[in-house]
């Protein structure tokens, strides 16, 4: 489902949007959608990495010879990419 939104841009920004979308062979709508989705993905990644930092510093994360912090760190870093 799509929802119609109207935005007002100054002339220069509107021109930049047209140029960027054309260069990437996208509609202006697709270009804006992609930017928003990229921003959301980056926010989620930053939250996961912040949670990972908390986990890395947790004293309960190290049990004997098995370093759970390292295992979780590796898994989270793979997932964040």
Q: Is 40 part of a structural domain of the chain?
A: yes
Q: Is 72 part of a structural domain of the chain?
A: yes
CB under 8 A, 24+ apart: contacts of 41-48: 45/80, 48/76, 48/79, 48/80
Number of domains in the chain: 1
Domain of 75 in residue numbering reads as: 11-80
Q: What is the pTM assigned to this prediction?
A: 0.64
Q: What is the pLDDT of residues 21-60, one digit of tens each?
A: 999 999 999 999 999 999 999 999 999 988 888 877 776 6
pLDDT bucket at 73, cuts 50 / 70 / 90 = confident
Q: Is 70 part of a structural domain of the chain?
A: yes
The string of DSSP letters for 8-63 reads: ---HHHHHHHHHHHHHTT--HHHHHHHHHHHHHHHHHHHHHHHHHHHHHT-GGGEE
Q: Is 55 part of a structural domain of the chain?
A: yes
Q: Is 34 part of a structural domain of the chain?
A: yes
| Contact yes or no for 80/45 (Cβ under 8 A) | yes
């Amino acid at each position: 489902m799509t929802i119609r939104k109207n935005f007002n841009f100054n002339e220069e920004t509107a021109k930049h949007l047209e140029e960027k979308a054309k260069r990437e062979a996208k509609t202006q709508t697709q270009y804006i959608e992609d930017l928003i989705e990229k921003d959301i993905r980056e926010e989620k990644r930053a939250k996961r990495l912040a949670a990972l930092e908390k986990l890395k510093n947790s004293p309960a994360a190290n049990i004997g010879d098995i370093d759970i912090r390292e295992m979780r760190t590796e898994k989270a870093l793979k997932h964040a990419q």
